[in-house]
């Protein structure tokens, strides 16, 4: 009876913990196996603890090169998609123009389109245009599919902004540029940041569209896929774990800053 | 922006159309420097549009706006020496109270803002809240921040757009007095937009009553109340009783009216309708000006007072006064407010009474207008 009561009282906590475990288990596996010393070429069975891969993350030829290309593409795709997406979002929310409704729906199409179809079509397009496949075709494709997500994230934020705030700024001697920099941008910033983070994550681990349009360029996801045919180096897990740690650190830092501000205010 | 102290706000023929809808008909208005001016009207009457045209947030379709001698009609808002207290305040949520108030000074390149901001925080009694964010303050405090943020720039005119609309009744009364105090203290011209007639009358030196994009009447609160020139003003500011009458004769400074079987007198100066014999006039009188006497005592009413007879249809006791509704042949629902000084126990529904009042309290309006204009609007607000 007491056990049943205990279960009742802690049901929510237990469900929460189980879900969290479900969510994080793959990450744990990635991390654990980054310390493995596999026999043979495949890192699928636990053998013994080793930090060899951590000491030599670029030890596999081509890995760090592909990582660099992926980071570069993700960075520029984020910059491009965030800039364009923010402008589109403002235009859609703040201005009334012809075909606004149509644009509003069209923005979502790339999200709805099956990625593999999109990838093949993009390749057709690039080939017909006579474009040289590589870094630039990947970047163009990534900006394209990141845009929808940035627009969605920023639009939600801009819609909740009171246009009177900008009028108040103008009323208080701020010209158009000052109004944008001092009022509009800071208030829209959380939405823009969310959009940018989404764009970075999407671009960094995109495989399908990239694979179709990369030519001879190899990004990190393509490298992992390619090496998986012949064997999986532990270094892949090292890179994955490192990325995960960086993300967690970013979240912790932003939370700490938020907490300090709250304390400061109170 | 204190370099030029000269000036009234002068609107000449200013108008605003949205497509085929005319929000403000060509309008001439002068707000004297240093006055507390109210634009009063129901929602959609064009008062806020007029205010926004002074601020520069709305471009006039025609006409000009002058501040003193300066034509500011085409100046963008950030170049006009006026500031606005917005409806629902529009405080910057990402800045603290201090930075909200300092915003205008900083944009004009003033570096040392601390002293001025601190003084302003004291003026609105928010000194200890300087480092809080707007959402941490109550409605009344936010309202004061909005006032401080505008006033610190020493605008030539402070524009207030329904600044007290979001506050509850008690706080609103308090803030009315507070704003009046601040205006007296800083001596800046205030133009206040409101739909609350009591608020306009409490605070303003001059009130412009607006209806459907036009100014119906302009004057001091007591002038508007005592001497309305349209049924809209008579009904929108307080309550009025109207008797449909006909001009019988004019004698000296008085106009004598025929209503039902009786005669009513009013000063010619208070009759805004043409006093030609046989002309139709609406004779108006405020409910609190009327005395109520039981029909049995009618002999004791002094001569020379306007009087009509009727029967009490209903009464409600509300503490300081009793409000009666009297049915009379000349006016179906006559409202009478009687102070509860000496209550006559016979004045109950069904009793026959005589209503009488000083002829000087009667006003005459042109009968060719809607007798109920302005009633709905006030009830809706």
One digit per residue, the tens of pLDDT, for chain A of length 266 reads: 688 888 888 899 999 999 999 999 999 999 999 898 888 778 888 888 888 888 888 888 888 899 999 999 999 999 999 999 999 999 999 888 888 889 888 888 888 889 999 999 999 999 999 989 999 999 999 999 999 999 999 999 999 988 899 999 999 999 999 999 999 999 999 899 999 999 999 999 899 999 999 988 999 999 989 888 888 888 888 998 998 899 889 889 988 887 776 665 54
Q: Residue holding tokens 């709905």?
A: B376
Min Cα separation A181/chain B (Å): 12
Picking from B50, B66, B20, the residue whose alpha carbon sits closest to that of residue B215 is B50
The chain-wide mean pLDDT, for chain B, equals 88
User: Which of A168, A264, A265 is the closest to B86 by Cβ?
Assistant: A168
B133/A contact by beta carbon, under 8 A: yes
φ and ψ at residue A53, rounded to 5 degrees:
-65, -35
- Per-residue pLDDT, averaged over B341-365, amounts to 89
3-state secondary structure of B243: strand
Q: Is the pLDDT of residue B82 over 70?
A: yes
List, by residue range, all CATH 2.40.50.100 domains of chain B: 231-380
List, by residue range, all CATH 3.40.50.300 domains of chain B: 9-226
Band the pLDDT of B6: cuts 50, 70, 90: low
The pLDDT of residue B123: 84
Domains observed in chain A: 2-52 (no CATH), 61-232 (1.10.3720.10)
Picking from B216, B182, B228, the residue whose alpha carbon sits closest to that of residue B85 is B182
A178/B contact by beta carbon, under 8 A: yes
Top CATH class of B231-380 equals: mainly beta
Say whether A174 and B103 touch across the interface (CB within 8 A): yes
Six-digit token string for B228: 């309305």
* DSSP character at residue B162: S
User: Which of A165, A172, A182 is the closest to B149 by Cβ?
Assistant: A172
- Per-residue pLDDT, averaged over B139-153, amounts to 91
B291-294: strand order across its sheet: B291-294, B352-357, B306-317, B321-328, B331-339
A169/B contact by beta carbon, under 8 A: yes
Say whether A173 and B104 touch across the interface (CB within 8 A): yes
Q: How many CB pairs under 8 A join A and B?
A: 69
Min Cα separation A47/chain B (Å): 54
Burial string for A72-85 (b: 16+ CB within 10 Å, else e) reads ebbebbbebbbebb
Query: Are B103 and B151 spatial neighbours (Cβ–Cβ below 8 Å)?
Result: no
Query: Are B282 and B366 spatial neighbours (Cβ–Cβ below 8 Å)?
Result: yes
Chain A residue nearest residue B133, CA to CA: A265
Say whether B57 and A170 touch across the interface (CB within 8 A): yes
The pLDDT of residue B332: 82
Picking from B356, B345, B377, the residue whose alpha carbon sits closest to that of residue B231 is B377
Look at B5 and A91; give whichever has higher pLDDT. A91
Q: Candidates 3.40.50.2300, 3.40.50.1980, 3.50.50.100, 3.40.50.300; correct CATH number of B9-226?
A: 3.40.50.300
Candidate from A176-190, B27-41, B95-109, B339-353 with smallest mean pLDDT? B339-353
Q: Residue holding tokens 């970013």?
A: A250
3-state secondary structure of B246: strand
A18/B contact by beta carbon, under 8 A: no
Model ipTM value:
0.79
Residue B156 to residue B148: CA distance in whole angstroms: 15
Say whether B92 and A165 touch across the interface (CB within 8 A): yes
Query: Could you tell me what percent of chain B has a pLDDT over 90?
Result: 52
Residue A249 to residue A29: CA distance in whole angstroms: 19
């Amino acid at each position: 009876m007491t056990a049943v009561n205990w279960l009742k009282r802690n049901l929510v906590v237990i469900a929460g913990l189980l879900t969290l475990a479900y969510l994080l288990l793959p990450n744990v596996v990635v991390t654990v196996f980054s310390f493995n010393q596999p026999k043979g070429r495949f890192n699928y069975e636990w053998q013994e603890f080793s930090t060899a891969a951590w000491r030599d993350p670029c030890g596999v030829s081509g890995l760090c090169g592909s990582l660099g290309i992926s980071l570069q593409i993700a960075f520029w795709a984020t910059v491009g998609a965030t800039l364009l997406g923010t402008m589109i979002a403002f235009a859609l929310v703040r201005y009334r123009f012809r075909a606004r409704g149509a644009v509003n729906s069209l923005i979502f199409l790339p999200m709805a389109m099956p990625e593999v179809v999109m990838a093949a079509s993009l390749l057709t397009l690039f080939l017909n245009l006579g474009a040289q496949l590589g870094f630039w075709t990947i970047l163009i494709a990534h900006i394209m599919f990141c845009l929808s997500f940035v627009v969605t994230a920023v639009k939600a934020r801009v819609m909740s902004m009171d246009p009177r705030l900008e009028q108040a700024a103008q009323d208080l001697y701020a010209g158009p540029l000052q109004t944008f920099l001092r009022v509009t941008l800071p208030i829209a910033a959380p939405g823009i940041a969310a959009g940018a983070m989404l764009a970075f994550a999407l671009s960094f681990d995109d495989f399908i569209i990239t694979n179709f349009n990369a030519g001879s360029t190899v990004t990190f996801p393509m490298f992992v896929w390619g090496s998986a045919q012949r064997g999986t180096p532990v270094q892949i897990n090292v890179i994955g774990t490192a990325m995960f740690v960086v993300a967690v650190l970013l979240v912790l830092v932003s939370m700490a800053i938020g907490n300090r501000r709250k304390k400061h205010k109170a | 922006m204190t370099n030029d102290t000269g000036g009234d706000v002068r609107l000449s023929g200013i108008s605003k159309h949205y497509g085929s809808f005319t929000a403000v008909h060509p309008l001439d208005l002068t707000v004297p420097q240093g006055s507390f001016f109210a634009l009063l009207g129901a929602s959609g009457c064009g008062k806020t549009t007029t205010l926004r045209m002074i601020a520069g947030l709305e471009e006039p379709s025609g006409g000009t706006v002058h501040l003193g001698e300066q034509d500011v009609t085409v100046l963008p808002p950030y170049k006009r020496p006026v500031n606005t207290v917005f409806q629902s305040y529009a405080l910057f949520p990402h800045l603290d109270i201090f930075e909200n108030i300092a915003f205008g000074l900083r944009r004009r390149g003033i570096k040392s803002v601390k002293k001025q901001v601190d003084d302003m925080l004291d003026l609105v009694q928010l000194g200890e809240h300087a480092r809080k964010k707007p959402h941490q303050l109550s409605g009344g405090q936010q309202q004061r921040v909005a006032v401080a943020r505008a006033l610190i720039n020493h605008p030539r005119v402070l524009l207030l757009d329904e600044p007290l609309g979001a506050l509850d009744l008690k706080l609103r009364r308090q803030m009315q007095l507070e704003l009046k105090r601040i205006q007296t203290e800083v001596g800046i011209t205030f133009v206040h937009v409101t739909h609350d007639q009591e608020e306009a009358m409490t605070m303003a030196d001059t009130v412009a009553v607006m209806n459907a994009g036009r100014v119906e009447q302009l004057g001091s609160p007591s002038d508007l109340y005592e001497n309305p020139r349209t049924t809209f003003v008579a009904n929108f500011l307080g309550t009025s009783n109207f008797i449909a009458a006909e001009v019988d004769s004019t004698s000296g400074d008085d106009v004598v009216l025929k209503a039902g079987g009786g005669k009513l007198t009013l000063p010619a100066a208070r009759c805004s309708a043409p006093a030609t014999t046989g002309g139709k006039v609406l004779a108006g009188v405020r409910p609190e000006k009327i005395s109520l006497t039981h029909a049995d005592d009618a002999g004791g009413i002094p001569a020379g007072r306007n009087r009509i007879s009727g029967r009490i249809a209903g009464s409600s006791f509300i503490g300081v006064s009793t409000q009666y509704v009297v049915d009379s042949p000349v006016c179906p629902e006559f409202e009478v407010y009687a102070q509860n000084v000496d209550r006559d126990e016979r004045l109950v529904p069904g009793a026959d009474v005589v209503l009488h009042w000083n002829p000087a309290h009667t006003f005459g309006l042109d009968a060719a207008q809607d007798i109920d204009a302005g009633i709905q609007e006030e009830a809706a607000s």
